[in-house]
Amino acid sequence: MSALDLRALTMLIVDDNANMRGILAAILKSAGVRRILEAGDGVEGLKLFSEREVDIVFTDLMMQPVDGLSFVHWIRNSQASPNPYAPIIMMTGHATRRSLDEARMAGVTEFLAKPLTARGVMHRINEVINNPRDFVRTEAYFGPCRRRRIDHDFAGDERRGVQPAPTALGGEAEIHAFDPEECY
- 178 is a domain residue: no
- 168 is a domain residue: no
* pLDDT tens, position by position, 103-124: 999 999 999 999 999 999 999 9
- 98 is a domain residue: yes
- 156 is a domain residue: no
Number of domains observed in the structure of the chain: 1
Mean pLDDT lowest for which of 65-69, 120-124, 150-154? 150-154
* pLDDT tens, position by position, 3-40: 789 999 999 999 999 999 999 999 999 999 999 999 99
Mean pLDDT lowest for which of 102-106, 114-118, 130-134, 147-151? 147-151
CA nearest neighbour of 58 among 27, 95, 89: 89
**Beta carbons within 8 Å of 69's beta carbon, 6+ residues apart:** 61, 102, 103, 106
- 22 is a domain residue: yes
Residue 176: the pLDDT is: 41
Residue 177: the pLDDT is: 45
- 175 is a domain residue: no
Q: What is the pTM of this model?
A: 0.79
- 167 is a domain residue: no
Residue 119: the pLDDT is: 96
Mean per-residue pLDDT for 93-111?
88
- 80 is a domain residue: yes
Domain that holds residue 96: 10-144
| pLDDT over 70 (residue 90) | yes
Q: Is residue 68 exposed (0-12), middle (13-18) or buried (19+ Cβ within 10 Å)? A: buried
CA nearest neighbour of 58 among 97, 27, 82, 102: 27
CATH number of the domain that 44 lies in? Answer: 3.40.50.2300
C-alpha pair distances (Å), 63 with each of 69, 89, 162, 181: 9, 15, 30, 23
